[in-house]
Amino acid sequence: MINGDFEDGPWMFRNTSLGVLLPTNLDEEISSLPGWTVESNRAVRFVDSDHFSVPKGKRAVELLSGKEGIISQMVETKADKPYILSFSLGHAGDKCKEPLAIMAFAGDQAQNFHYMAQANSSFEKAGLNFTAKADRTRVAFYSVYYNTRTDDMSSLCGPVIDDVRVWFSGSKRIGAGFGFWVFVLLVVGLV
Amino acid sequence: MTGLVINGDFETSPSSGFPDDGVTDGPSDIPSWKSNGTVELINSGQKQGGMILIVPQGRHAVRLGNDAEISQDLTVEKGFVYSVTFSAARTCAQLESINVSVASVNADADDMLASRNVDLQTLYSVQGWDPYAWAFEAEDDHVRLVFKNPGMEDDPTCGPIIDDIAIKKLFTPDKPKGNHKFLYISIFDSKVLKCAYFTLIFLVTFCR
Q: Do A11 and B83 touch (CB under 8 A)?
A: yes
Domain residue spans in chain A?
Answer: 20-190
Kindly give the residue spans of alpha helices, DSSP state H, lying in chain B. 180-189, 191-207
pLDDT above 80 for B153? no
Query: What is chain A's mean pLDDT, rounded?
Result: 91
CB contact, 8 Å: B83 with chain A? yes
Q: Do B83 and A64 touch (CB under 8 A)?
A: no
Please compute, for residue B125, the number of CA atoms within 13 A of its CA located in the half-sphere on the CB side: 22
The candidate with the shortest Cα–Cα distance to B73, out of B160, B140, B163, is B140
The stretch B85-101 carries a mean pLDDT of 87
Looking at the complex, report in whole angstroms how far the Cα of residue B68 sits from the nearest Cα belonging to chain A: 22
- Could you please report the per-residue DSSP string of A126-140? EEEEEE--SSEEEEE
Q: What is the pLDDT of residues B23-45, one digit of tens each?
A: 555 444 899 999 998 899 999 88
The B residues from 125 to 164 touching A (CB cutoff 8 Å) are 125-127, 129-137, 164
Q: Do B114 and A30 touch (CB under 8 A)?
A: yes
CB contact, 8 Å: B68 with chain A? no
Class (C level, CATH) for A20-190: mainly beta
Q: Do B124 and A43 touch (CB under 8 A)?
A: yes
Give dist(CA A59, CA A80) in Å, integer: 33
Pairing label, strands A156-157, A147-148: antiparallel
Contacts of B140 (CB under 8 A, 6+ apart): B76, B78, B104, B105, B106, B113
Contact indicator for B85, B166 with CB cutoff of 8 Å: yes
pLDDT above 50 for B179? no
Query: Which residues of chain B are within 8 Å of residue A170 when distances are taken between CB atoms?
Result: 188-189
Contacts of B187 (CB under 8 A, 6+ apart): B193, B194, B197
**Strand, coil or helix: what is A16?**
coil
The stretch B41-52 carries a mean pLDDT of 85
Give dist(CA A29, CA A67) in Å, integer: 23
C-alpha B168, offset from chain centre: 9
Sign (positive or negative) of CA dihedral B165, B121, A101, A94? positive
Q: Do B130 and A18 touch (CB under 8 A)?
A: yes
At the topology level, CATH places domain B3-169 in Jelly Rolls (2.60.120)
**Strand, coil or helix: what is B40?**
strand
CA distances from A162 to A41, A53, A61 (A): 22, 11, 7
Question: Residue B83 is nearest to which of A32, A42, A189, comparing CB atoms?
Answer: A32
pTM of the model: 0.83
pLDDT above 50 for B185? no
